[in-house]
Amino acid sequence: MARIIAGVGTSHTPAIGAAVDNGKTNEPYWQPLFKGYEPAKKWMAETKPDVVIMVYNDHVNAFDFKIIPTFALGCGEEFPIADEGWGARPVPAVKGHPELAAHLVQSLVLDEFDMTIVNEMQVDHGLTVPLTLLFGTPKAWPCRVIPLAVNVIQYPAPTGHRCYMLGQAIAKAVASWEEDLKVVIFGTGGMSHQIQGPRAGLVNAPFDQAFLDGLSRDPQRLAAIEPLEYLRDAGAEAIELVMWLIMRGALGERVKEVHRFYHVPASSTAVGNIILESA
Amino acid sequence: MTERKHKEAYEDIPGTWVFDAQRARKGYHLNEFLYSLMKAENRKAFLANEAEYTRKFKMTEEQRQAVLKREWNRLLELGGVSYALAKLAFTDGKSYQYMASQMTGVTEREYVDMMLKGGRSPEGWRSKSERQGKH
């Protein structure tokens, strides 16, 4: 039987990927951040998942505005790396798990989550930066990756509550797959940040810390946070944090927090990382 | 909360243009232009003749002028979305932080320094009415 053994929450700031790609990880600006991710990388190297379900958002790369799916599941065999405007990141293409993805779609739609099925798409920094942070710079990614792209660009994004319930449905779907697979689910983006308008650069560390605490101890409280509260208190782009609730919803009631890291800044972003094992 | 009340509430956030469905509708052709800059050959064609290249897209004249003048906040107001606008900044060889500094009216160095000191505090930036009360 397949099962979700853990969840990883992490920011996916594009500048982090650029720092790795351009060999800047030891510069004073970046060194504390990459040092902070070392325990998570070590945990991942020991955990060796077979499949990662990557909850992330596309940033006007795979999807322009012709079609805006709220929840899009990548069902293809391979996902090429997008050129976002400065050339594609020099990272390996992402191999999917079409069989498990097809099963997820069937189970989720019957559970009343109407997923958009995407058989071909490019993936951007939202998906590749978390892979780089947790797996480093291998020649090929060591596991299969099922992308789950969430619209958080055009307002309103799905609510935190809806995301939490989707996570629960994903856990149920994975558990009904017969093949023995270790699955780790990622929730990415955030934490507090705003990259537009005169209020750009907003960071709310107390909000972020309370969010990390809530993931560990009181996810129901987080699932009840209104969209407006993210925008107002943690920045227009902090709405990305709803994606962490899909991850959290997939882990069941009780979890064991095995790692946490928080750092400001990476470019305009407050960076958070948490690892939660299913109890 | 009704949809209207909800909209009033997020429009009360200062220094922010929430990219909602109405703004997205107005910005559609502008954003499609920005999206085209994902391709290296389009970036080259745009830089070679910006006026001519932008005329290929059905954006309004107001939007087109704001592109040519790199009026970043105006572009947000007219329906541009920050991630698409970033492609224009990248085409110019600039960074996200450069674009953000232009939107906040400071130099890139000043913006980077603000971030290094922990970023902009939300205090005083939660609501327009709260800000007006302070003046």
Q: Which residues of B touch A207 (CB under 8 A)?
A: 122
Give the 3-state secondary structure of residue B93: coil
**Quick check: A200 and B103 CB within 8 A?**
yes
Is the ipTM above a cut-off of 0.90? yes
**Cα(A270)–Cα(A264) distance, integer angstroms:** 5
Single-letter amino acid code for the residue at A216: S
Single-letter amino acid code for the residue at A160: G
N- to C-terminal Cα separation, chain B: 30
B75 token code pair:
């572009």
For residue A144, give the CATH number of its domain.
3.40.830.10
N- to C-terminal Cα separation, chain A: 17
Give the 3-state secondary structure of residue A121: coil
Q: Which residues of A131-148 are buried (b: 16+ CB within 10 A; e: fewer)?
A: bbbbbeeeeebebbbbbb
Single-letter amino acid code for the residue at B38: M
Over 60: is that where the pLDDT of B124 sits? yes
Give rounded-to-5 percent helix, strand, coil for chain B.
65, 0, 35
The string of pLDDT tens digits covering residues A191-208 is 999 999 999 999 999 999
The string of pLDDT tens digits covering residues A124-145 is 999 999 999 999 999 999 999 9
A233 token code pair:
């208190």
**Quick check: A236 and B16 CB within 8 A?**
yes
Residue B84 lies in a domain: yes
**Cα(A148)–Cα(A16) distance, integer angstroms:** 21
Which of B98, B115, B131 to mutate to test binding with chain A, by most A CBs within 10 Å of its CB? B115
Q: Which residues of A touch B91 (CB under 8 A)?
A: 85
Collect all residues from A whose CB is shorter than 8 A from any CB in B: 14-15, 29, 59-61, 64-65, 82-87, 153-156, 192-205, 207, 228, 231-234, 236-237, 264-265, 267-268, 270
Residue B113 lies in a domain: no
Single-letter amino acid code for the residue at B134: K
**Quick check: A198 and B34 CB within 8 A?**
no
Max distance between CA atoms of chain A, in angstroms, equals 52
**Quick check: A198 and B15 CB within 8 A?**
yes
| Total domain count, chain B | 1
pLDDT tens digits in sequence order for chain A, 279 residues long: 999 999 999 999 999 999 999 999 999 999 999 999 999 999 999 999 999 999 999 998 899 889 999 999 999 999 999 988 778 999 999 999 999 999 999 999 999 999 999 999 999 999 999 999 999 999 999 999 999 999 999 999 999 999 999 999 999 999 999 999 999 999 999 999 999 999 999 999 999 999 999 999 999 999 999 999 999 999 999 999 999 999 999 999 999 999 999 999 999 999 999 999 998
**Quick check: A200 and B84 CB within 8 A?**
no
A197 token code pair:
């308008």
Give the 3-state secondary structure of residue B90: helix
Chain A: give the shortest CA distance to residue B119, in Å: 5
Q: Which residues of A are catalytic?
A: 125, 193
Residue B111 lies in a domain: no
**Quick check: B83 and A59 CB within 8 A?**
yes
Q: What is the pLDDT of residue B3?
A: 83
The string of pLDDT tens digits covering residues B32-51 is 999 999 999 999 999 999 99
Give the pairing type, strands A182-188 and A3-10: parallel
**Cα(A11)–Cα(A28) distance, integer angstroms:** 20
Closest alpha carbon to A1 in A203, A136, A126, A182: A182
Q: Which residues of B touch A232 (CB under 8 A)?
A: 9-10, 13, 122, 126-127
For residue B39, give the CATH number of its domain.
1.10.700.10
Give the pairing type, strands A94-95 and A182-188: unpaired
Within A138-235, strands assigned E span 144-150, 182-188
| Total domain count, chain A | 1
- Domain range enclosing A273: 3-278
Q: By the 8 A CB rule, do A36 and A263 touch?
A: yes
The string of pLDDT tens digits covering residues A227-262 is 999 999 999 999 999 999 999 999 999 999 999 999
| Residues contacting A52, CB < 8 A, separation 6+ | A131, A143, A144, A145, A146, A183, A184, A185, A186
* B88-94 contacts, C-beta under 8 A, 24 or more apart: B88/B34, B88/B37, B90/A84, B90/A85, B90/A86, B90/B37, B91/A85, B91/B37, B91/B43, B91/B46, B91/B47
Residue B107 lies in a domain: no
Q: By the 8 A CB rule, do A256 and A242 touch?
A: no
Q: By the 8 A CB rule, do A82 and A61 touch?
A: yes
Give the 3-state secondary structure of residue A144: strand
- Domain range enclosing B53: 15-92
**Cα(B95)–Cα(B86) distance, integer angstroms:** 8
